[in-house]
Chain A
């Protein structure tokens, strides 16, 4: 299907944590994955998104003490829930990684997605420190940064990205972002009607990084899923002005300090216990004689 603005709508309320998306992503993109690692953390043995994991199913055992995570009768779990979320690059409209990349390796594609050009990236890792979603990973093998391409090669062939294709519950829906937003609004209204009062859309509007091409329906607050809330979804460039202004003021004060120190104490004779000058010392530079003549 041809799309103008490609994205995913991930409905975490119907994610079953099967990890088919992780497998499909690795399969299509030729990612070998990291060495097996027993994290002893729930059902998760992937750990995080990185150069080898462009999809990561999070298992969140956040069980509220008052049991009001979902307003459901006791026979459906009494509010106890195992939150699952298939995490991925958000392909932000205002992308932090793209903002700081010094080589312009990170570009926006014709599908409005954010893409790292492997042949341009030089592995400075500035994007890693900027991405607020812990998405980008550095590969020692290639010496470059990697993340989800939203199956750029499949999009070029009008194919659905591998993860969305493989998702058995259609928790990951692929399509044009505008259509996905309408779908998400309908789904959210249905959940609210069913009593899931905490259900909310994350990244559907422009409050988070100008809107996310890959946005989510969450069953709790964003922080629970390891996502910054709207107040904390800030771009690195916010510190440009205060940072440089701080440097400028410091420079001005330091120059004044130098002016005071070097003018006032300039001709203090050397202490008597300082080492004496060798006899017959030549001027230190070709310009010394000229300096000596200055008033």
Chain B
């Protein structure tokens, strides 16, 4: 077996990037759930879809702020988009950071449109038309991209752990969807509306599927990292604690039936969200340890 050799320096991506990855995952997950609920869900899921769209935009607008503040030269954030030397657009499809900035921008536009549709009737009517359905599908593609690309961004490096684990894109996407489901259930619990409670069972079932997908991908990710000989970086003292939280976050949706999620929605959803955050922390900090 050929072990990977790494002589690379950590980029010191810490709390701001962790926050960005977390919120981007939740926002894209909320939007994706909203589209799924609206386009192929039963009419009774309309209210849950509305909550999903109302949550997606506020979450995503924090993301560019975190990214900008993390830059060494925040006033040059626009260099990501425009070639400051040549004046044209900066678009490098082979660089996930470049692609991601554009993807995030476009997704933010779709998230804003859907947000607007929930608070302003004319836009709401437009989004319920055939054209609106098409817009939602395109927005869904960008949402899924944003949910996955953060993992690909880490993979496309020479950093230990990150570059050893190509499944990270899928892991983060599934994790974001699971976290978004938990967030929706949390928001539903806060609203106490019967028409929204009708979607609790469906969301709980979807969450269980997402968690299974995520768990399978995490196993594949850990196997690839172990094969490269860098898995020890993920399991230092802090890392072990984080992985315990990840495990709890994965287990709760599987153990908690829809009935218990109604009874203890805050606790179960919070545990899932903590697990989603812990997964990103374990990967981000583990790769730089």
Q: Which chain A positions have C-beta within 8 A of B233? A: none
* A123: contacting residue among B73, B101, B197, B213, CB under 8 A: B73
- Stretch of A38-46, A70-78, A137-145, A200-208 contacting B (4+ beta carbons < 8 Å): A137-145
CA distance A17 to B57 in the complex (A): 58
CB of B98 within 8 A of CB of A102, answer yes
CB-CB nearest in chain B for A143: B72
CB of B197 within 8 A of CB of A122, answer no
The reply to whether the CB of A286 lies closer than 8 angstroms to some CB of chain B is yes
CA distance A227 to B7 in the complex (A): 7
Taking A262-B45, A281-B193 as contacts, is the C-beta distance between A236 and B156 under 8 angstroms? yes
Which residues in chain A, 256-285, are within 8 Å of chain B measured between CB atoms?
A: 257-271, 273-278, 281, 284-285
Taking A122-B71, A125-B72, A247-B148 as contacts, is the C-beta distance between A236 and B42 under 8 angstroms? no
Taking A257-B206, A262-B40, A287-B127 as contacts, is the C-beta distance between A274 and B262 under 8 angstroms? yes
Taking A134-B9, A231-B2, A263-B42 as contacts, is the C-beta distance between A129 and B159 under 8 angstroms? yes
Q: Which chain B positions have C-beta within 8 A of A265? A: 201-202, 205
- Of A117, A271, A278, the most chain B CB neighbours within 10 A belong to A271
CA distance A180 to B276 in the complex (A): 53
- Stretch of A19-27, A162-170, A188-196, A238-246 contacting B (4+ beta carbons < 8 Å): A238-246
Which residues in chain A, 90-119, are within 8 Å of chain B measured between CB atoms?
A: 96, 99-105, 117, 119
Q: Is the interface of A mostly helix, strand, loop or mixed?
A: loop
CA distance A131 to B6 in the complex (A): 10
CA distance A264 to B156 in the complex (A): 39
CB of A123 within 8 A of CB of B71, answer yes
Q: Which chain A positions have C-beta within 8 A of B36? A: 255, 258-259, 262
CB-CB nearest in chain B for A120: B84
Q: Which chain A positions have C-beta within 8 A of B202? A: 261-262, 264-266, 268
CB-CB nearest in chain A for B99: A102
- Stretch of B19-27, B58-66, B161-169, B244-252 contacting A (4+ beta carbons < 8 Å): B161-169
* B85: contacting residue among A117, A143, A284, A291, CB under 8 A: A117
CA distance A188 to B48 in the complex (A): 71
Taking A121-B73, A262-B206 as contacts, is the C-beta distance between A254 and B177 under 8 angstroms? yes
B219 to chain A, nearest CB (A): 13
CB-CB nearest in chain B for A252: B144
The reply to whether the CB of B283 lies closer than 8 angstroms to some CB of chain A is no
Q: Which chain B positions have C-beta within 8 A of A244? A: 148, 152, 169
The reply to whether the CB of A219 lies closer than 8 angstroms to some CB of chain B is no
- Stretch of B74-82, B105-113, B234-242, B266-274 contacting A (4+ beta carbons < 8 Å): B74-82
Q: Which chain B positions have C-beta within 8 A of A290? A: 125, 128
The reply to whether the CB of B222 lies closer than 8 angstroms to some CB of chain A is no
Which residues of chain B have a CB within 8 Å of any CB of chain A?
A: 2, 4-13, 32-33, 36-38, 40-47, 50, 70-74, 76-77, 79-80, 83-85, 90, 92, 94-98, 101, 117-118, 120-121, 124-125, 127-128, 144-145, 147-149, 151-152, 155-159, 162-163, 166-170, 173-174, 177, 192-203, 205-206, 209-210, 213, 217, 258-259, 262-263
6 contacts between A and B (CB under 8 A): A123-B72, A125-B72, A246-B148, A268-B201, A277-B193, A291-B43
Additional pairs, 13, CB under 8 Å, beyond known A267-B42, A281-B195: A104-B92, A125-B13, A128-B9, A128-B12, A129-B13, A130-B8, A131-B8, A234-B158, A239-B156, A261-B209, A270-B262, A277-B192, A277-B194
